[in-house]
Amino acid sequence: MKLPNLPFLILDTETTGFVPKTHRVMEYACVALKNGKIEMEYEQLLSLPEGHEIPGVVQVLTQIRQKDLLGKPTFQEMLPTIKAMLTPETIVVGQNVKFDIGMLKGEGWDISEHPWIDTAMLASIVYPELKSYSLGYMSEALHLMHTPKHRALGDVRATYQLLELCVERLQSLPGSDLDVLKALAERGPESYRRLFASLTSVAKKKRPAWLSLSKHRSPDASDKSIPATMLKGLTKNAIELMQESLCPSTLESILAGAKKGSMIAVKNLDAAVRRVEIPASVVVLPEPQMLLSGEAAEKFLEQKSFTADEMTLAMKLVLYSPKLKIDLPIHGEETAIWNAKIAASAESPEYLARRKALKKDVVLLGHHELISIANGEESAILKGARIVIDDASMLEDTATGALGWTCFVPTLRAAAACNAALTKCTDLIELWVEKLRNGMDLRYIAPSDLGAPEIEHLTVMIEGLLKTELPHAAEKALSDLLLIFQERNLDGRITWVESFLDGNKAIKSVPEKINEVLGRILYDQSEVTLLIPQAAWKECGSVLPLMMKTVDGPVPMLPIPDFSVLLPIGVALDASIVEAKGKTVLLLSSKRAIEELYLKHAEKCEAAGTTFLCQGFSGGQSRMQAEFVLAKEPAILVTTPWTYETMELPRGTIGRLVLQTLPFDHPSHAIFSRRALRYGDPFSEYSLPRLKHRLFRLIRTFVRHMKAGSSFMILDDRLRTKPYGKRVSEYLQNLAPAPTVRPSLAATGQMKLL
């Protein structure tokens, strides 16, 4: 495919980290294109300033060692040569190119105002079927020439081919579609205006098949033999506790047996919709922000100008005509734009039309939305309703989120584009957070903090902004912040400011006693069934009011796939890597532990032909999932238990799940540490039940992903050495189907039955 006759400079950098000036560029590569042909290739290793070294992780990622840079020129020495390759009319192209531009600026070469195109965002427009838009994944999925591996020039070559493929797909659009995209590009950055103006469509009226492809609608094959779970009538003023099954088709079973007027609440509605075949009789009620507001979208598309990310989102709106956020291949900063500018609200007609199904049809919704309705002005709609809460072991956490007040600074930033007053307010909010946290990642807010002069000034400013027209997300964030600023609202709540690893900041407040709030707004109003993990279904005090009566519900008679729970004696985690066969998931307790494992094994695995993907070093979650599924065996994915719970992999993917240490809640977590203080014996009454429920969810997630006859291996010696270990071992034994553990010998040692 020949590119348009435009001058392009495709570039990439390898760096010692992610922060400009703090970290440095150690390799620069580019390819200059003219008249659709390669005019020049350039690659140069660069020495680092005195005192700068390549971190061990980066050495493994790039395979560039400190000695490789000895005697190489500095960036400043090569800057005249590098600058000469970029003419004023040339368009800069790169994969996630804003990162490279930022790092180059840190070296003294500022091209931030030069026209640029991001191939990751371009690919997200025309490849809706891809599971990730990372260059590594797309190189495999689209068969790009990505050599030399790990190096800047290899990335540049792959980016060049990706640009060609994106242009080819754009030019496969009928003229009517391409003309609309050209019109949108005219309101975008100069680089995109020039690119789209140069495109010509094929002479046909039929839209290409790829426009109907989606990465979001791919439920696993439904098991038609699964019986419907029929719920019995509830005792008045009582909560029904039903044992949750490990069967992957539990939700289908509940939906099939639900009567009209029932509401089935799940932890993650988006994941459930993607994973499960929803009966035609069931109405899906997403959270308002997951729906597209037609009015807001129309207003958005009428903007006189677009940023690059706004322009790509606008193009997707016209190409894919979405109703839900999951209908779009959203990528990058588009999520913040969706939330800030085009998402529906609780007052939007799109949401209200769906909510009419409540008490009439079977409705599938998320925990968050159920709690929001119960806590809202129209909570009477739930009076006497039959509500089934699946995954109730997560209800404490999901209800905490639904009942929380949050001001997330990036949301305000996205909404503040072209709004000087909101921009100023956002700046002041961020300054206040910085001053309050004083270098700490997390700091609780005390009454004395709310007496500061900045609070009074911000309150007046926010009240003024709320009288103007604002995007719904900004209005919600500022309204929540006003509630947090009121000293009386600190009572009975946990309130804090927090800064994250990526520099983003938030102000949050949640109820301290979530069980009491749930009793008042939900259990006292409706007939509620809670699905609690089997073998620990009585240990759910964190979501049950103290005086609330419970009754035992039916035990679902659903088939559980065959798997084993193994407790090896004296087996190190390294053995799971060295002897890896098939596809294995390793669960480590912390990012530091993952880093140590990555440094130790990444290069060895590559040499042995084993795919080795690690959280924090192999891209985001969607990229890791996509590359793991695509990888040839053997393949290893290393992540934390908390992340694995949320992963979506096809059935039959995994042969073994290995848990290094028992995943207790971190004792210093902002919410957990405060709530634990309410218990006489925080460990036995709060921490241990949460651990059991988490182990159940991990095994259930594994059962959804595994091949038949797979094994779940636990390497934590505390199961044998600690007094509570026997209790946890017995719990795990009760979860597995008979026989609980398949007796076997492994090369790494004797397998002990739990």
- Range 702-712 average pLDDT: 92
- Asked whether residue 453 falls in the same domain as residue 487, the answer is yes
pLDDT exceeds 70 at position 416: yes
Judge whether 199 and 4 are in contact, CB under 8 Å: yes
- Is there a cis peptide before residue 634, judged by omega within 30 degrees of 0? yes
Q: Is residue 671 part of a domain?
A: yes
**Residue 552 included in any domain:** yes
> Rounded to an integer, what is the distance from CA 225 to the centroid of its chain?
33
Residues 538 and 588 in one domain: no
Q: Are residues 74 and 139 in the same domain?
A: yes
Given 111, 145, 170, the domain boundary residue is 170
Say yes or no to pLDDT of 743 above 70: no
From the list 661, 664, 662, the residue with the least C-alpha distance to 682 is 664
Q: Which of 558, 583, 607 delimits the end of a domain?
A: 558
**C-beta of residue 429 within 8 angstroms of C-beta of residue 409:** yes
**54 φ/ψ sector (left φ>0, alpha ψ -120 to 50, else beta):** beta
pLDDT score at 236? 66
In a domain, 306, yes or no: no
Query: Is 208 contained in some domain?
Result: no
Same domain, 451 and 597: no
Q: Would you place residue 315 in the very low, low, confident or very high pLDDT band (cuts 50, 70, 90)?
A: very high
Q: Are 195 and 6 in contact (CB under 8 A)?
A: yes
- Among 142, 170, 198, the domain boundary falls at 170
Count of domains forming the chain: 3
Task: Note the pLDDT of residue 204.
Answer: 66
| pLDDT above 70: percentage of residues in the chain | 94
Report yes or no on 189 lying in a domain: no
% pLDDT > 90, the chain: 71
649-680 confidence digits (pLDDT tens)? 999 999 999 999 999 999 989 999 999 999 99
What is the average pLDDT across 62-87?
Answer: 96
Does residue 17 sit in the same domain as residue 146? yes
CATH number of the domain within which 603 lies: 3.40.50.300
Q: 252 and 374 in contact (C-beta within 8 Å)?
A: no
Q: Say yes or no: 663 and 529 in one domain.
A: no
pLDDT at 41 over 50: yes
Instruction: In whole angstroms, give the CA distance from residue 614 to residue 635.
Output: 11
* Kind and range of the H or E run holding 718: helix 718-721
Strand order in the sheet with 37-45: 37-45, 25-34, 8-15, 91-94, 116-118
Please indicate, yes or no, whether residues 620 and 539 belong to a single structural domain of this protein. Answer: no
Q: For residue 739, what pLDDT band results from cuts at 50, 70 and 90?
A: very low
Output the pLDDT for position 227. 74
Determine the pLDDT at residue 750: 34
Beta strands in 8-79 (DSSP E): 8-15, 25-34, 37-45
For residue 231 the two structure tokens come to 């719920």
Residue-averaged pLDDT of the chain: 90
Is the pLDDT at 550 greater than 90? The verdict is: no
What is the tens place of the pLDDT at every residue in 253-292? 999 888 888 999 999 999 898 888 888 889 999 999 999 9
Q: Radius of gyration (Cα) for the chain, nearest Å?
A: 27
- Checking if the pLDDT of 568 tops 50, the result is yes
Tell me: do 131 and 225 sit in the same domain.
Answer: no
Q: Which amino acid is at 206?
A: K
How sure is the predictor about 753, in pLDDT bands with cuts at 50, 70 and 90? very low
My answer on whether 477 and 623 are in the same domain is: no
Asked if residue 640 has pLDDT above 50, the reply is yes
Residue 652, domain extent: 563-752
- Residue pair 658/585 in contact by the 8 Å Cβ criterion: yes
Q: Is a pLDDT exceeding 70 seen at residue 390?
A: yes
Does residue 543 share a domain with residue 429?
Answer: yes
CATH number at residue 94: 3.30.420.10
Residue 388 in any domain: the answer is yes
Residue 544 and residue 599 in one domain: no
Query: Residue 513 domain-assigned?
Result: yes
**pLDDT at 224 exceeding the cut of 80:** no
pLDDT in the model for residue 377: 87
Average pLDDT score over residue span 282-311: 95
Q: For residues 534-544, give the mean pLDDT.
A: 77
Distance CA 158, CA 146 (A): 5
Is there a contact between 502 and 476 (Cβ–Cβ < 8 Å)? no
Q: Is the entire prediction scored with pTM above 0.85?
A: yes
pLDDT score of 557: 77
Query: Residue 454 domain-assigned?
Result: yes
Decide if pLDDT at 215 tops 80. Answer: no
Task: Specify the pLDDT at position 536.
Answer: 67
Higher-confidence residue of 58 and 733: namely 58
Q: Can you list the positions of beta strands (E) in 588-650?
A: 611-614, 635-639
Higher per-residue confidence, 213 vs 90: 90
Distances (CA, A) of 200 to 168, 176, 207: 10, 11, 15
**What pLDDT does residue 742 have?**
37
Same domain, residue pair 522 and 583:
no
